[in-house]
Amino acid sequence: MSDKPARAIKLNVLNEPKDSYTGGPSSLCPGCGHDQISNVIITAAWENGIEPHRIAKMSGIGCSSKTPAYYLGQSHGFNTVHGRMPSVTTGAYAINKDLLYLGVSGDGDSASIGIGQLIHAIRRNMDMVYIVENNGVYGLTKGQYSATADVGSKKKKGPANETQPIDLCALAINLGCTFVARSFSGSKKQLTSLLKAAMSHKGFALIDVISPCVTFNNNDESMRSYGYVKENEVTLHMADYIPHFNPVEEIEVPEGHYRDITLHDGSTIRLETISAEHDPGDAMAALTALHEAETDKKHVTGLLYFDASKPSLAEDLGLVEEPLLDVPDEVLRPDKASLDALNAEFLS
Amino acid sequence: MDRIINDFTINIATANGTGSQSANLILLQSLFDMGVPVSGKNLFPSNISGLPTWYIVRLSDKGYQAPGDRTHIQVLVNPATWEEDLAALEPGSVVIWNSDTKKKTVERDDIISYPVPMSALARKINPKIAKLVTNIIYVGVLAELLGIDQACLESAVAKQFKGKATAVELNITALGLGRDYCKEHLTKEDAYAVEPRKVEKPQFFIEGNEAAALGAHYGGVQLLAWYPITPSSSLAEGIINYIPRLRTDDDGNATMAVIQAEDELAAAGMVLGAGWAGGRGMTATSGPGISLMQEFIGLAYFAEIPSVFWDVTRVGPSTGLPTRTQQSDIAMLYEGSHGDTQHIVLIPGTVEECFEYGWRAFDYAERFQTPIFGMSDLDLGMNRWACEGFTYPDQPMDRGKVVREQDVFEAFETFGRYLDVDGDGIPYRTLPGSGMAPILYRGTGHNPMGVYSEKPEDYYNLMQRLRMKIDNARDELPAPILREEEECEVGIVFLGSMENSIQEIDDILEETGLKVSQCRVRALPFHSEVEAFVRRHETVIVLEINRDGQLYGILRRELPNDLVTKVHSVAYSDGMPPRARIYAERILETLEEVKQ
């Protein structure tokens, strides 16, 4: 025991300090939206009381995909190849379905080179959290437009973008994705609640996070700059997350209307209505909200769409209950009698 | 007239999708069940229905399995190739033809002609399926002409239509109609005949792809991620078909997962994900799929992820001839992906080896923490080959250097994912979820601790270690099969399905007075015995089914300088399974050139 008086360290439900969830120092540009998201990941995993080593950090290639080095240092991770993180995650999941797969990707990784894999992971309702750190430009290659750049938006150098963007949330809703949210790296509270909810979801949870690139796309003419997003964010609702290990009574009940959504692990996300009420079970309403925002050159944030009814990939695979990783070798390899029987049948 | 017994080739020309494959397999199986050494080659088009198909049945008491030099008996059912097939026949050949074929006849007086109204006979049975039945009628005619045993025919029909009583009955009736027509209307004028043979060891017929699929199960495969492509689909489907029998518990739950991926890139990604997580993942594809997987192959090599890729090769480049055979992916597999790489390639030449490498591939992948390729080809994978039975793995699964227990982990003085603790180039790993030594795996440069590094010495040392790791594997991989002559004048180095033509090539060469030794390479990098074989022989020919001599190129580069000059390439490919005489003649030409 030290002689110094013990400093009060906040612990989570597993009695772990937040330090157990941090990673190495970031090498991104100071002020990068991605670093804010990394901090949110640390907070959400800590507050949700997830054992850090039971998380798998997955990423592709790009500024965003470098970030797994900056959070959850006690978790294994795989910084794969450009746009192919969903397939690697799917293969890992088939072997060990008990880990929480936390994928981080960017707009180049997800909306261009990897859009096919994103689509098919959604189609399989692969059980994972998929964060897109979306800034509208390729950062590591020094500022080319990506496929999510808004029409009329202008980055620091070069002409304005005139090519129609791909809205990953609209795409995901159309594909039947079971959890679709959009947020902003500057909206820490909302993003944290959405991420915690996504971690409690069984199935594919997409969070498209507008995350400004301070170096190449943070000028006033850019529709993905801090200034622009702050001015033009349309928040669907305030979001609060109530973990399954916390009695609901302790949570302050908001005065206005709210909607509670129960997640697969028994946790709740509470959506407090701001103006018009948004029903996350209504895909048409979600698409309308996205379309209206685009028309008004705004960014709509919140839990756009949610569906707890679809089976996730694990149920489709028809596997034994324990993760395949834990099936003993003697069970994986059929016994000798089975081969003797096959040989005999072939010979008959 | 002297009879020609068990030594001739039958060529059957039909249209794809008319059920001819069933008829041809019944013919093949019945001959096989009589103990006649026989091989069948299906030359099929990239098409579901309508395009021409040829099936070549070769009977050979010598056991030759290559397609013969010529056709002795031609069955003509397909009007589309009628004239072409007829014109190709040598004088004295036999033609059995469907005389109900509109506007087609056989007018050659130098051949023996047996017209059979196959369509009319087929219509007698059932007009609605006459087209399908037509094919089984020629089998009946052949049976009668050649003397194929009726009991063997009937059991072959039963095998072909397992449990479908109506189909069995219908086909046996059709066989009878063919036989009866032959008895009543044709007089045998040819010399060809079949005689039963006593087989020393009982054998069965099986395709290489099914054998490899079974092998994968006995290797405890945990994930099959695949994208359909000819000629590998039947390997993947073979795995799937055996899951209920071999890999399912009493509650109907499987101990392996199957995911049909969106493309080959994703299939490769899933295989890597499985290996990263600590499981046994594999894919089955062909050359075009391997082309697409190159990026992941480099990642698996550099990040040291156990992974298994089966390449059932077909004719390239590009889409090439998708339903024809070739050995043209050797270089791509051995050095797959950009940058300096080197991969372990297992090269089966028999169905027994397809099975064996099916399970061994996983042991090698986990032992060496690297991608392992199985290289089969269309000929071996999709044709049926005689097999005496599969041998159960003689050792427990080798899961490699995985640290699973905390006390083992703590015994390490320093634990680094890429630290060469044992000096064999193979580091230790811990698995995601274990909580032990977590790292962020990456395709970027890294130091022995697994941390990103661009330091010159880290990169240099890493690349040297990777080279040493694969180099050390050489003599742990299957050794070459050697069949040596005392003279040690000429040695032939070859690989894979050439196994099925080599004895005939050897015999043709021997007719000219040339005795050659054989060395069948069964893995890359080359086993040290390959170099010793080259050293022992005066002249070495590297024989392969491609244009450029890919195996030759690799061997030349890896041999010591003093041996390089004695090695010569004979590479030939026209899409056909290797016909012995073509290769034998090219070997003789090359040896002649060497002498000069």
Confidence band, pLDDT 50/70/90 cuts, at residue A330: very high
Confidence band, pLDDT 50/70/90 cuts, at residue A251: low
Share of chain B above pLDDT 70, in %: 100
Confidence band, pLDDT 50/70/90 cuts, at residue B130: confident
- Chain B from 395 to 454: CB within 8 A of any A CB: 396-397, 399, 430-435, 438-444, 452
**Mean pLDDT, rounded, for B219-240:** 98
Is B494 in the A-facing interface, judged by CB distances under 8 Å?
A: no
Whether the Cβ atoms of residue A140 and residue A63 lie closer than 8 Å to each other: yes
**Mean pLDDT, rounded, for B101-121:** 95
**CA distances (Å), origin B373, targets B215, B364, B395:** 14, 10, 21
pLDDT of residue B473: 98
**Mean pLDDT, rounded, for A323-336:** 98
pLDDT at A255 over 90: no
Minimum mean pLDDT range among B43-57, B504-518, B526-540, B561-575: B43-57
Confidence band, pLDDT 50/70/90 cuts, at residue B484: very high
**Mean pLDDT, rounded, for A30-49:** 97
Whether the Cβ atoms of residue B555 and residue B567 lie closer than 8 Å to each other: yes
What's the gap in Å between the CA of A165 and the closest CA on chain B? Answer: 24
pLDDT of residue A277: 86
Mean pLDDT of chain B: 96
pLDDT at A278 over 80: yes
Strands B371-377 and B307-313: parallel
pLDDT at A302 over 60: yes
Confidence band, pLDDT 50/70/90 cuts, at residue B1: confident
pLDDT at A112 over 90: yes
Using CB atoms, pick whichever of B202, B270, B438 lies closest to residue A74: B438
Tell me the sheet residues that pair with A256.
none
**Mean pLDDT, rounded, for B108-133:** 93
**Mean pLDDT, rounded, for A24-35:** 96
pLDDT of residue A6: 67
Higher pLDDT, A1 or B383: B383
- Chain B from 269 to 288: CB within 8 A of any A CB: 269-281
Amino acid at B235: L
User: Burial letters for B362-396: b for 16+ Cβ neighbours within 10 Å, e otherwise?
Assistant: bbbbbbbbbbbbbbbbbbbbbbbbbbbbbeebeee
> In a 3-state reduction of DSSP, which class is residue B94?
strand
* Digit-coded pLDDT (tens) for B451-473: 999 999 999 999 999 999 999 99
pLDDT at A61 over 70: yes
Residue with structure tokens 């089975």?
A338
pLDDT of residue A257: 83
User: Counting every residue, how long is chain A?
Assistant: 348
- Which residue of chain B comes nearest to A321, CA vs CA? B253
**Mean pLDDT, rounded, for B155-171:** 93
CA–CA separation, A209 vs A192, rounded Å? 11
pLDDT of residue B154: 96
pLDDT at B487 over 90: no
Confidence band, pLDDT 50/70/90 cuts, at residue B18: confident
Is B199 in the A-facing interface, judged by CB distances under 8 Å?
A: no
pLDDT at A256 over 80: no
**Mean pLDDT, rounded, for A171-192:** 97
Mutate to test the interface with A, among B33, B270, B292, B444 (most CBs of A within 10 A): B270
pLDDT of residue A247: 59
Share of chain B above pLDDT 90, in %: 93
Using CB atoms, pick whichever of B220, B299, B435 lies closest to residue A329: B220
Give the up-direction half-sphere exposure of residue B22: CA atoms within 13 A in the CB hemisphere. Answer: 21
Confidence band, pLDDT 50/70/90 cuts, at residue A8: confident
pLDDT at B163 over 60: yes
pLDDT at A248 over 80: no
What's the gap in Å between the CA of A54 and the closest CA on chain B? Answer: 5
Q: Do B387 and A346 touch (CB under 8 A)?
A: yes
The backbone region for B449, taken as left when phi is positive above 0, alpha when psi lies in -120 to 50, beta otherwise, is: alpha
Chain B residues within 8 A of A91 when measuring between CB atoms: 223, 225, 259, 269-277, 281
pLDDT of residue B17: 82
- 10 Å CB burial of residue B185 (0-12, 13-18, 19+) is exposed
> In a 3-state reduction of DSSP, which class is residue A338?
helix
Other C-beta atoms closer than 10 Å to the C-beta of A260 total: 11
Q: Do B266 and A84 touch (CB under 8 A)?
A: yes
CA–CA separation, A58 vs A128, rounded Å? 10
Is B493 in the A-facing interface, judged by CB distances under 8 Å?
A: no
Mutate to test the interface with B, among A76, A122, A124 (most CBs of B within 10 A): A76
Whether the Cβ atoms of residue B234 and residue B382 lie closer than 8 Å to each other: yes
Chain A residues within 8 A of B409 when measuring between CB atoms: none
**CA distances (Å), origin B302, targets A160, B9, B375:** 40, 50, 21
Chain A residues within 8 A of B223 when measuring between CB atoms: 91, 94-95, 324
- Nearest partner of B571 among B552, B594, B558, judged by Cα: B552
**Mean pLDDT, rounded, for B538-549:** 98
**Mean pLDDT, rounded, for A17-23:** 97
CA–CA separation, B542 vs B527, rounded Å? 15
Mutate to test the interface with A, among B204, B205, B260, B262 (most CBs of A within 10 A): B262
Question: φ, ψ for residue A66 (rounded to 5)?
Answer: -80, -20
Confidence band, pLDDT 50/70/90 cuts, at residue A15: very high
* Digit-coded pLDDT (tens) for B524-542: 999 999 999 999 999 999 9
pTM for the predicted model, two decimal places: 0.96
- Which residue of chain A comes nearest to B430, CA vs CA? A76
